[in-house]
Amino acid sequence: MVVDIRDVRRIYETGDIVFEALRGVSVQIMRGEMVALMGPSGSGKTTLMQIIGLLDRPSHGTYALGGRDVTTLTENERAEARNTDIGFVFQAFHLLPRLSLVENVEVPLTYAGVPPRERRERALHVLARVGLDSKARNLPSQISGGQKQRVAIARALAGSPRLLLADEPTGNLDTRTSEEVMAFFSELHREGTTVVLVTHEQDIGAYAERVVRVRDGVIESDTRQTPRVAAPLGVTG
């Protein structure tokens, strides 16, 4: 089991105002699953994503990541766990504009203390995996939006994380490019990568084998489905 969340509540307090974003949520995600976390704005899905990604802490309840209780880790321990156990892909790409593509992919490996030669080899390997090794020395400004997201996926994969967490990964992309990016996620899933997609788009959630719907801070439903078949990659760079 990769994610094991039990009876998690998240309470925010601002002055006299108390807001309970999550109200006793329990969810387990097994190794190799592809799960879509869905819900309308204000449902609590973003809060749940932040807790899964160790970007926020539960007010009550427990969270084990890969069998390790991460509920009470220090901030430094949480940062280390984020860097080694979780690969993040965000809607806005978050590439550093003055670094080349290969240097962007190397960033989490640098924080992990990987030696320069090894991190360059690993960065080039994952860029090749997403079809962009020929553009390794380009700057982010020299590639398309879809290619930027593929670089972000490569960066997330560079550290061989146990969990790939994608937050609205196609939000800035057109339909055709979104399908291309989802083909990558589907292929990674077939290869055994554990993928959690946070999305409000039904057509993106359709690629997952399991859909967890959140509403008003609770799990409204947790269902399995036949995932949408992604088109062949056919990426040429």
Q: Residue 140, SS3?
A: helix
Query: Phi and psi for 233 in degrees, rounded to 5?
Result: -60, -60
Q: Count of residues for the chain? A: 237
Q: Which pLDDT score, from 0 to 100, does residue 124 have?
A: 96
Task: Judge if pTM exceeds 0.75.
Answer: yes
**Residue pair 55/73 in contact by the 8 Å Cβ criterion:** no
Q: Which pLDDT score, from 0 to 100, does residue 232 have?
A: 57
Distance, CA of 124 to CA of 205 (rounded, Å): 30
| pLDDT beneath 50, residues of the chain | 235-237
DSSP for residue 198: E
Nearest alpha carbon to residue 131 among 108, 99, 154: 154
DSSP characters for 176-197?
HHHHHHHHHHHHHHHTT--EEE
User: Which parts of the chain fold into alpha helices (H)?
Assistant: 45-52, 75-85, 101-111, 116-129, 145-157, 175-190, 202-205
Q: Which pLDDT score, from 0 to 100, does residue 237 have?
A: 47
Instruction: Let me know if 9 is exposed, middle or buried by CB neighbors in 10 A (0-12, 13-18, 19+).
Output: middle
